[in-house]
Amino acid sequence: MKFFVDTAEIKDIRDLHETGLLDGVTTNPSLIAKSGRDFKEVIKEICDIVPGPVSAEVAATDYEGMVAEGRLLAKIADNVVVKVPLTIDGLKATKTFSKEGIKINVTLCFSPNQALLAAKVGATYISPFIGRLDDINLEGMQLIRDIRQIYDNYDFSTEILAASIRSANHVTEAALAGADVATIPPAVIYKLADHPLTKSGLEQFVKDWKATGQSIL
């Protein structure tokens, strides 16, 4: 499973890149607003740090506007993935981009039918939002399982990018459900390494090692 980080904070991206765990980055207009930075500058900076796919979302909601903005975003760096919303105009733009060789992340997916449409028009990634479905008392993870089944039934190459991930359990469940990618907030990525038995076991090893009086170097 590939790990993308869902943030526009440069420091977080740099730190995670250094761990070797990061395969890519996703941003959205809310994350850009939170960063307080200029959108195109931030995307360029992220692309210079991370060689993997970096999703940059269009602001327009009409086909012509999305295509114009997406073409411009795609020129920022070779690893830019243009992110468009799952609307009819977004799907039309996806078809246009896929013919032009521009990679596309279709976002705000909340149903298997929406995912089917995105695959049919050549989306590179589909982004089902797990947490937001859980928020309204639906089972977000079931959507990942359904999309996996549909894409496998028809050999679609669109990658399932599990988004709106809020917890370490979401990551485990998305991996078990066969998501190709998870886009995860920075704090949740670090939590994946935590286990109380690892912590207490290491404390004991450090204590016992000190008692030997030895040094490896």
Residues annotated as catalytic (active site), given as ranges:
83
The reply to whether 46 sits near ligand G3P by the rule CB under 6 A is no
Q: How far apart are CA 172 and CA 105, in angstroms?
A: 22
The reply to whether 132 sits near ligand G3P by the rule CB under 6 A is yes
Q: Give the footprint of ligand G3P on residues 166-195 (CB under 6 A).
A: 166, 183
DSSP 178-190: T-SEEEE-HHHHH
Binding segment for ligand G3P (CB under 6 A), chosen from 84-92, 111-119, 126-134, 206-214, is 126-134
Q: Which residue is nearest to ligand G3P (CB)?
A: 164
CB of 103 to ligand G3P, least distance (A): 16
Considering only residues 7, 26, 79, 105, which one is a binding residue for ligand G3P as defined by CB under 6 A?
A: 26
DSSP 138-204: S-HHHHHHHHHHHHHHTT--PEEEEBS--SHHHHHHHHHTT-SEEEE-HHHHHHTT--HHHHHHHHH
- Is residue 22 within 8 A of residue 30, CB to CB? The reply is no
The reply to whether 105 sits near ligand G3P by the rule CB under 6 A is no
- Count other C-beta atoms under 10 Å from residue 140's C-beta: 24
The reply to whether 129 sits near ligand G3P by the rule CB under 6 A is yes
Q: Give the footprint of ligand G3P on residues 62-91 (CB under 6 A).
A: none
Residue numbers at the binding site for ligand G3P (CB under 6 A): 6, 26, 28, 129, 131-132, 163-164, 166, 183
